[in-house]
Amino acid sequence: MRWARGKRDHLFKPRERAAHLLRMAEIMERRKPEILDLLVREAGSPRAMAEPLQFRLCMEHFADMAERVVAGHEPIRAIPPVVGHKVGQGVVMEEAVGVASLITAFNFPFHLSLMKLGPSLGAGCTVVLKPSELTPLVGLILGEIADEAGLPPGVLNIVTGDAEAGTELSSHPAVDVVSFTGLGGSAS
């Protein structure tokens, strides 16, 4: 399961993925007051911390991921020959891992989500984002933003729930990679 356009054999190219990420970043900037208010109300962030640490820093990282996807992405490249030999060492083939399960904690929910989403979506993975049950609205607003940015249906999926949902997302055989940040117990 990767960014497919209709048939699974025609994947979105890096520039197309980067364009979607940049549209998401533009929408997040436009919705910044709403997102900051949500971070204060839902996550309990002091307003003075919300903008520089919980919004601005991760937005810069998210935009950087989009630029990296465009700037240096060569899905197949030759490994240079060993010094003194004329024979190459093979090739590196980069492709999406598949389904990425991203599980975030309640503290810095927007920041943690974007730090995981940028690289995963940029790489071409299909993503299942599970925010903490203590801060689910941050995940849901990211789903809205993805829809507004035109991400194909099914590329970014938001799942809310408790630790049981996180256990399922970290052990399901259809999940290819898991990124987890959180605490044990009910805050995971």
Q: What is the pLDDT along the chain (188 residues), one digit of tens a residue?
A: 455 544 443 457 888 888 999 999 999 999 999 999 999 999 899 999 899 988 998 888 888 888 877 665 555 555 565 555 555 555 555 667 889 999 999 988 999 999 899 889 988 899 999 999 999 999 999 999 999 999 999 999 999 999 899 888 889 999 988 988 866 544 43
For residue 78, the model assigns a pLDDT of 58
For residue 92, the model assigns a pLDDT of 55
Other CB atoms within 10 Å distance of the CB of residue 57: 15
For residue 63, the model assigns a pLDDT of 86
For residue 110, the model assigns a pLDDT of 92
For residue 86, the model assigns a pLDDT of 57
Do the Cβ atoms of 137 and 39 come closer than 8 Å? no
Packing angle between helix 109-123 and helix 57-72, nearest 10 degrees? 10
Residue 175 belongs to what domain range?
4-187
Other CB atoms within 10 Å distance of the CB of residue 14: 21
Q: What are phi and psi of 161, to 5 degrees?
A: 155, -175
For residue 66, the model assigns a pLDDT of 81
What is the CATH classification number for the domain harbouring 29?
Answer: 3.40.605.10
For residue 68, the model assigns a pLDDT of 78
For residue 185, the model assigns a pLDDT of 46
The torsion of the CA quartet 16, 175, 145, 124, rounded to 10 degrees, works out to -10
List Cβ neighbours of 158 (8 Å cut-off, separation of 6 or more): 128, 129, 130, 131, 139, 140, 142, 143
Domain count, the chain: 1
The torsion of the CA quartet 120, 175, 28, 132, rounded to 10 degrees, works out to -130
For residue 9, the model assigns a pLDDT of 38
